[in-house]
Amino acid sequence: MIKRILNWVLPVALALGVVWVTAGAAEVVVPDSITCVYCDGSGEVKCAYCVGNGTVRCNYCDGTGRVTCTFCNGTGRIRCAECFGKGYIYDGGNRVKCPTCKGAGSFTCDYCVDGKIYCEMCGGSGRLKCVICDGYGRVRCAVCDGTGKMKLR
């Protein structure tokens, strides 16, 4: 009867962080170790940093996978260097349409789509591998040091 109660009480007491004193219970057979209650004997717990996903949101692109194009400052257009964006030039005193940009004053930026380029840090996925668990999603249980067992004595 005492044994049965102990088997039930001991893991609960350990889970609550209560120090179990076995002194004076010499007649009761206490096992050397029990299954670790923190990791349920697996020796691993979910990585708290990435919540078990193995990846975290990329903070370079705020998780969107895309960042502002540095060539056009996110405008999607690059100013024509020939006419300084005006769309016309002076040819012998006559104002003529700029032949380089055909009067538009700017070009569509070739480096991006709508002023955005894909994030090189996360490869456009918007997620980065968790550095704490190296993308595994789980880390070694610190309570049992990865053994899955809690020593009782």
Which positions touch Zn ion (CB under 5 A)?
36, 38-39, 47, 49-50, 58, 60-61, 69, 71-72, 80, 82-83, 98, 100-101, 109, 111-112, 119, 121-122, 130, 132-133, 141, 143-144
122: closest CA among 69, 54, 65, 52?
65
- Residue carrying structure tokens 């016309």: 88
Nearer to Zn ion, 20 or 60 (CB): 60
Strands 149-151 and 138-140: unpaired
Q: How far apart are CA 153 and CA 142, in angstroms?
A: 18
Nearer to Zn ion, 10 or 98 (CB): 98
Nearer to Zn ion, 14 or 36 (CB): 36
Nearer to Zn ion, 6 or 47 (CB): 47
Strands (E) in 4-124, as ranges, are 33-35, 44-46, 55-57, 66-68, 77-79, 88-91, 94-97, 106-108, 116-118
- Residue carrying structure tokens 């020593």: 151
| Least CB distance to Zn ion at residue 27 (A) | 29
